Structure 1
Amino acid sequence: MSEETPFTPRLGRAGDQGASSIRRSGRRLGKTARRLAKPTKPAFTGARFGAARSTGSRGVRLAHLSRVHMRRVIVKVHIARPGRSGPGLYRAHVGYLQRDGAGRDGTSGLLYDRDSEGVDPADFLERSENDPHQFRIIVSPEDGARMGDLKAATRELMAQMERDTGRRLDWVAVDHHNTGHPHTHIVIRGRDARMRDVVIARDYLTRGLRAAAEDLATQRLGPRRSLEIAEARSREVSLDRWTGLDREIEAKLEGTRIDMPEASGSRARFDRALQVGRLRHLETLGFARPVGPQAWEMTDGWQQQLKRAGQRGDIIRTLAAEYSGREQGLRFVEDLGSEASRVTGTVKAYGPEDELRDTRYLLIEDFDGRVWHVPSGAADMTAPPRPGAVVELSKAAVIARPADRAIAAVADAAGGVWSEELHVRHDPGSSPEYRLSLKRRLEALRRDGIGERLGTGEWRIDEGFVERAAGYEARRAGGVRLAVLSWVPLEQQVGLNAETWLDGNDPGGARGSKRLGELRQQRQAWLRQQGLLGAGDDKLSADQRARLRSLELSRRTAILAAQSSRTALALQPGDAFDGKLEGHLDLASGRMAIIGNAKQFALVPWRDALGRQIGRELSIRQTATGLSWSLGAERGRGLSR
């Protein structure tokens, strides 16, 4: 510094110098603090894809709790779309939820909403008939039995969901007490009170809603105590199903081997004791094999086998609750060997397999008195045989669908790739609806690991596609085929003025069945009383059987015509008819589809594929070789059969 410009500091009161700068810094710091205090947005909020926060709405008094101390709640969500099934899909689900035995003391399920109980389902279904989709939710608190009446908790949960989504939802619910864990089914319309489409973020449906339900259960019952947590984990040691302990064991696997060295610390020793106890239980089930003092080797597919055992246990518990005593000696038709003889019997009952998707398993009682469980994939559950119908079970042949072969043919010609554009080139006459059905089929197969969807919108199809697709179809049905031999119960066949299954020669090969033998004798006695059988005869002639079939069809057609005040139409080769598929009619000679309009109707042989088309417009044409049909008034290829 030069001598010509001396520097003389001037000192003032402390705090004066730079006060304005300090105030600015303080304001910026306060802004930052307030911004950080707000909930941060996750990586995916669903803002562009739906409403609702993704993290739920944890209350202030629960924010200090760890995840392990929260009350556990299972939440399952399914978004149902009518598709080709039409609005009947919505009606069937709501009707199924109200089935007998689902409520307390075996009563029917009682629908309720935010304001009232005993809601009329017709009003809700009328409002939702044209909705593009429907949300189906199951809420099952682990401590549901301790929560008492679930209605108040459900209404509180739905109020929280409305706050999270920022809109008023149109919903109904029903509580089910037919299993060991009381749970609630909630159905939410796809449109809100203002008739706007309801779109909810996926992460809210998969995580946020469960967090909100767990917060609610924890607020009502208090947090889980350490003793409760320890007892719950200890109970998992001896369960014959997939558990949280199995997940811990799976995480420690090195290949198929797990080593359990000594642990230090009380918590680590407790966890190790539970895992070792679980491994010893899995050893008794044949899923683990000791290979050292503290090591085990797990069998191939032990995870899937445990999950399957859990599903079977759920089925048996459901049968114990709904059909007392029927769970004793239950057999699973999937266990039939490839060389096993066919099983013939009658449909006894149905049970819930997937309540979100309305799939049901069948219980079949054979003529030796054994009860068999049949998975839903073995039958067309959109129009299943009624209880008492005679059915036959056999091992399903591994046969590919025609659609799978069509996909493979296009891919073979295109170098292992399928797309809608390539299919049009290969088959110019295919309809857009048919190609859309192929894409849906490919998507279903992809979820099972068959085929690969490329970013270009094409699908990679390998050489073994047809065989793997056929195997997938067989697995869906549990490797079983169910054929309906008679849609009419056996007891009704005895005095029926029609050709019945009992009139056949040794029907079903069940010659040794006492019950079947008695019914056949009663049937023959009735036929003799009617003068249709002579004193020494035991079976009808071919002409008599044909005449009985014709009489039954004429009689039932006349009854239906009188009830509906319409004219019955008898189709001749070359005739065509357009109408709505109104339902079906079960005759002793087989099931008939009812297709009609305002003035006429026609009865035609039923096909399994028709079950999903009830309520839709169809076109049918009688040919010299049989009957062809297609959706709508458009005939030709595509969805035609």
Structure 2
Amino acid sequence: MDDDEFTPRLGKMRSRGKEVRYLSLVVKAARRASRGRAKRSHFDGSRIGRGASVARVLRSRDRHGAFRSRRAIVKFRPVTLAGKGLGGAKAHLTYIQRDGVTREGEPGELYSAGLDVADGKAFLARGTGDRHQFRLIVSVEDGDQYPDLKPFIRRLMGQMEKDLGTSLDWVAVDHFNTGHPHTHVVLRGKNDLGDDLVIAREYISHGARERAVGLATLDLGPRTDLEIEERLRADTGAERLTMIDRRLIREMNAVRLVSAGDDDPFQQSVRTGRLQKLARIGLATHVGGDSWRLEPDLAGTLQRMGERGDIIRTMQREITARNLERMPADRVIFDPAAEDIVPVVGRVIMRGLADEHKDRHFLLVDGVDGRVHFAGIGQGEDLELTPEGAIVRIAPREARVRDVDLTIAEVAASNGGIYSVDAHLRHDPSAQEAYADAHVRRLEVMRRTMRTIERDPDGSWVIASDHLAKVEAFEKRQLSGRPVTVEILSTEPVERLPAIDAATWIDRELVADTPTPVRDAGFGREVRAAQALRRQWLIAEEMAEEEGGRTTYKRGMLAMLQRRELLRVAGEISDKLGKPFGEARSGDRIEGRLVGAIEMASGRHALIERSRDFTLVPWRPVLDRHLGKTVAGIVREGGISWTLVRQRSGPNIS
């Protein structure tokens, strides 16, 4: 028969003793196939990407003698380069090459797989279009035994290339300015084919560290009994969290009791010595025999003690290096969570990393109260740059539900749980669209950070009944990464402020109703001297008068000084651009291309270029991500109210 004429004839299923429906058989087969799988771990995406299988092997293999292996840390941090990310990448490369990181106290030098001195600008240029990059910190516990870390890092990165199945483009800097030598590595987020480099989380968490441990153990040999014993003896008196403490915490019972006894005499002496040290600092109590009771949150307390010790050593080192005469009582750790905390105003001595592994930054500030303050400012290099010598005000942030959140919840409650700009304007006819847009921006930030708020394709938002609880969780998360606000009061050093023809921080303090208290000691003494010189300058400029030992200032003095500087700077810019300056006045609508930021003594300003002229208006952080774009806004008394600009090429939000 011809194939085209073939027609299959399907018969009935054979009987199995009783009538069974075919669908029932399929369902039962599916159940049998899935039986037992529900008990397996759920899919979490940790094995998506390169290196997953290698990491699995490294974790599961029987590592004989692991107790004697050298210890190492490899900290990965993926960083998105969109928006301000490229600027953050430049800042990161600058920071890791800062002064004093080599053994000789010199600035660090970038190196790569084939070059001892790598070109950081060329590296950034190659990664201009990259979606992301990886920043690594590699630290071997016994790294001080390496005369040079470069060969170790190159072998580690070469092994990672084999594990990930692609060549890697990276630069690195070795740091020897801490107790543990370590290396910062910046890795491009592209593979050898030019596609996005996706590394499995399992490799990031375990694979790279296991490779570093293996290489260090191969180089330095397994840890000897003497090395292990010396480390444990040193840990018995340490005021930080140690391996001995972790073991005691694992072994304590429900009422926090732990035994000092051990089958090994040396281990027993170590445990006993450590428990006695914990008792002396109030973290353990001897309850009789070999039984001890550990205090609640022992690990957290010891971690904080270790951090405090590191802070005190950092403050001592920097104060000594700058020849600052400050008594130990005048060294303060700024705690934003303290009940009686007040903002700190002072001069930036330095910015640094309190914890390089966790990317926690700090500022050391010489306060006008005559004391030196250590203030943790948060995580990430994208924090606003604060140059040394700048005068800043540091204040604690407050985690709270804002008025904008209450408004969103109110509008959604009256609109079936949906928030949108149109619903907002219907709910409050007196509101303007720009005001409603600010609420949308708040929701967008929460959505990107928490992933707990849904946005529909039409631009509306699903607001659940527990929205305010989500806001509280969001604010607490933000607070952990940004515990304080840092306001730059002056980028000019205090010694230059008395003679500057502009509205300065000193001027604002002189005319303030409640000026910042200034102590006649330390940096406060320098500020008082600068204030006295500034008064004389203002009198000479006929902006102040002195009578009977009292100085009175001309009304509108700050505005006049600010306008004098504005016109002077605008004249300089006009000569460069070949365009006239158009002064922005209250109520004017501003629209043009955002060229950049202009640093002035009276504050940062935005340079807006228009078709026939340009203008200068006060800067706002929201403009950071819109350089080179068209922005628009309305001049208000308190600044600029930026709005949505729609062009033929598409919308721009400023």
After TM superposition, the score normalised by the length of structure 1 is 0.78
Q: Distance in 2 between matches of 1:372 and 1:205?
A: 36
Which residue in 2 is equivalent to 1:498?
A: 502
Deviations 1:306-347 (A, max 9, x none): 222223333344455666457973311107842355433222
Which residue in 2 is equivalent to 1:518?
A: 529
8 Å CA contact 2:350, 2:365 repeated in 1 = yes
Q: 1:634 to 1:337 in 2, by over 3 A?
A: farther
8 Å CA contact 2:405, 2:468 repeated in 1 = no
Which residue in 1 is equivalent to 2:252?
A: 253
Matched, 1:620 2:621: no
Q: Distance in 1 between matches of 2:337 and 2:48?
A: 50
Q: 1:437 to 1:121 in 2, by over 3 A?
A: same
8 Å CA contact 1:400, 1:469 repeated in 2 = no
Equivalent residue for 1:585, pick from 599, 606, 610? 599
Equivalent residue for 1:509, pick from 497, 513, 517? 517
Which residue in 1 is equivalent to 2:445?
A: 437
Q: Distance in 2 between matches of 1:552 and 1:598?
A: 24
8 Å CA contact 1:344, 1:510 repeated in 2 = no
Q: 1:380 to 1:529 in 2, by over 3 A?
A: farther
Higher mean alpha-carbon deviation, 43-52 vs 481-490, is at: 43-52
Q: Secondary structure at the match of 2:499?
A: coil
C-alpha RMSD of the superposition: 3.9
Deviations 1:250-269 (A, max 9, x none): 21233351231643x32xx4
Deviations 1:427-485 (A, max 9, x none): 6976987654221232599xxxxxxxxxxx9989477555555455555554x554444
Q: Secondary structure at the match of 1:273?
A: helix
Which residue in 2 is equivalent to 1:157?
A: 156
Q: Distance in 2 between matches of 1:120 and 1:380?
A: 20
Which residue in 2 is equivalent to 1:34?
A: none
Q: Secondary structure at the match of 1:117?
A: coil
Amino acid at match of 1:249: L
Q: 1:574 to 1:106 in 2, by over 3 A?
A: same
Which residue in 1 is equivalent to 2:583?
A: 570
Q: 1:433 to 1:526 in 2, by over 3 A?
A: closer
Q: Distance in 1 between matches of 2:219 and 2:518?
A: 58
Between the two proteins, the alignment pairs up a number of residues equal to 573
1:331-346 correspondence to structure 2 within 5 Å: 331-334=332-335, 337-346=338-347
Which residue in 2 is equivalent to 1:219?
A: 218
Q: 1:170 to 1:615 in 2, by over 3 A?
A: farther
Q: Distance in 1 between matches of 2:597 and 2:206?
A: 40
Deviations 1:1-30 (A, max 9, x none): xxxxxxxxxxxxxxxxxxxxxxxxxxxxxx
Which residue in 2 is equivalent to 1:488?
A: 492
Which residue in 2 is equivalent to 1:13?
A: none
Which residue in 2 is equivalent to 1:17?
A: none
Deviation at 1:186, TM superposition (A): 0.8
Deviation at 1:382, TM superposition (A): 3.3
Matched, 1:273 2:290: no
Which residue in 2 is equivalent to 1:21?
A: none
Which residue in 2 is equivalent to 1:87?
A: 86
Q: Distance in 1 between matches of 2:132 and 2:644?
A: 21
Equivalent residue for 1:296, pick from 265, 273, 292? 292
Q: Secondary structure at the match of 2:104?
A: helix
Deviation at 1:240, TM superposition (A): 1.7
Deviations 1:181-230 (A, max 9, x none): 11111111011233121111111111111111111111111111122112
8 Å CA contact 1:45, 1:203 repeated in 2 = no
Amino acid at match of 1:508: T
8 Å CA contact 1:582, 1:596 repeated in 2 = no
Amino acid at match of 2:67: V
8 Å CA contact 1:344, 1:366 repeated in 2 = yes
Q: 1:81 to 1:398 in 2, by over 3 A?
A: closer
Q: Distance in 1 between matches of 2:47 and 2:280?
A: 50
Which residue in 2 is equivalent to 1:308?
A: 304
Q: 1:362 to 1:425 in 2, by over 3 A?
A: same
Amino acid at match of 1:617: K
Q: 1:282 to 1:222 in 2, by over 3 A?
A: same
Q: 1:461 to 1:531 in 2, by over 3 A?
A: closer
Deviation at 1:65, TM superposition (A): 4.2
Deviation at 1:373, TM superposition (A): 0.9
Q: Distance in 1 between matches of 2:167 and 2:412?
A: 48
Q: Distance in 2 between matches of 1:297 and 1:213?
A: 38
Q: Distance in 1 between matches of 2:644 and 2:313?
A: 42
Matched, 1:140 2:148: no
Q: Distance in 2 between matches of 1:252 and 1:558?
A: 73
Which residue in 1 is equivalent to 2:429?
A: none
Higher mean alpha-carbon deviation, 98-107 vs 555-564, is at: 555-564
Which residue in 2 is equivalent to 1:606?
A: 619
Higher mean alpha-carbon deviation, 348-357 vs 90-99, is at: 348-357
Q: Distance in 2 between matches of 1:237 and 1:339?
A: 36
Structure 2: any 5+ residue segments left out of the alignment? 1-42, 426-435, 454-461
8 Å CA contact 1:378, 1:482 repeated in 2 = no
Which residue in 1 is equivalent to 2:574?
A: 561
Which residue in 2 is equivalent to 1:452?
A: none
Higher relative contact order (CA 8 A, sep 6+): 1
Higher mean alpha-carbon deviation, 626-635 vs 220-229, is at: 626-635
Structure 1: any 5+ residue segments left out of the alignment? 1-42, 446-456
Q: Distance in 1 between matches of 2:535 and 2:621?
A: 32
8 Å CA contact 2:594, 2:606 repeated in 1 = no
Higher mean alpha-carbon deviation, 592-601 vs 145-154, is at: 592-601
Q: 1:526 to 1:227 in 2, by over 3 A?
A: same
Deviation at 1:166, TM superposition (A): 0.9
Amino acid at match of 1:49: G
Q: Secondary structure at the match of 2:117?
A: coil
8 Å CA contact 2:399, 2:476 repeated in 1 = yes
8 Å CA contact 1:260, 1:272 repeated in 2 = no
Q: Distance in 2 between matches of 1:458 and 1:166?
A: 45
Which residue in 2 is equivalent to 1:28?
A: none
Amino acid at match of 1:286: G
Deviation at 1:246, TM superposition (A): 2.0
Q: 1:144 to 1:318 in 2, by over 3 A?
A: farther
Higher mean alpha-carbon deviation, 400-409 vs 364-373, is at: 400-409
Which residue in 2 is equivalent to 1:240?
A: 239
Q: Secondary structure at the match of 1:198?
A: coil
Which residue in 1 is equivalent to 2:431?
A: none
Which residue in 2 is equivalent to 1:10?
A: none
Q: Distance in 2 between matches of 1:631 and 1:358?
A: 35
Matched, 1:49 2:49: yes
Which residue in 1 is equivalent to 2:24?
A: none
Q: Distance in 2 between matches of 1:565 and 1:223?
A: 70
Which residue in 2 is equivalent to 1:38?
A: none
Amino acid at match of 1:518: A
Q: Distance in 2 between matches of 1:355 and 1:596?
A: 41
Q: Distance in 1 between matches of 2:537 and 2:268?
A: 72
Q: Distance in 1 between matches of 2:566 and 2:338?
A: 40
Deviation at 1:118, TM superposition (A): 1.8
Which residue in 2 is equivalent to 1:369?
A: 370
Deviation at 1:618, TM superposition (A): 5.4
Q: Distance in 2 between matches of 1:460 and 1:281?
A: 51
Amino acid at match of 1:619: V
Higher mean alpha-carbon deviation, 535-544 vs 108-117, is at: 535-544
Amino acid at match of 2:527: L
Q: Distance in 1 between matches of 2:185 and 2:464?
A: 37
Matched, 1:76 2:87: no
Which residue in 1 is equivalent to 2:185?
A: 186
8 Å CA contact 1:256, 1:299 repeated in 2 = no
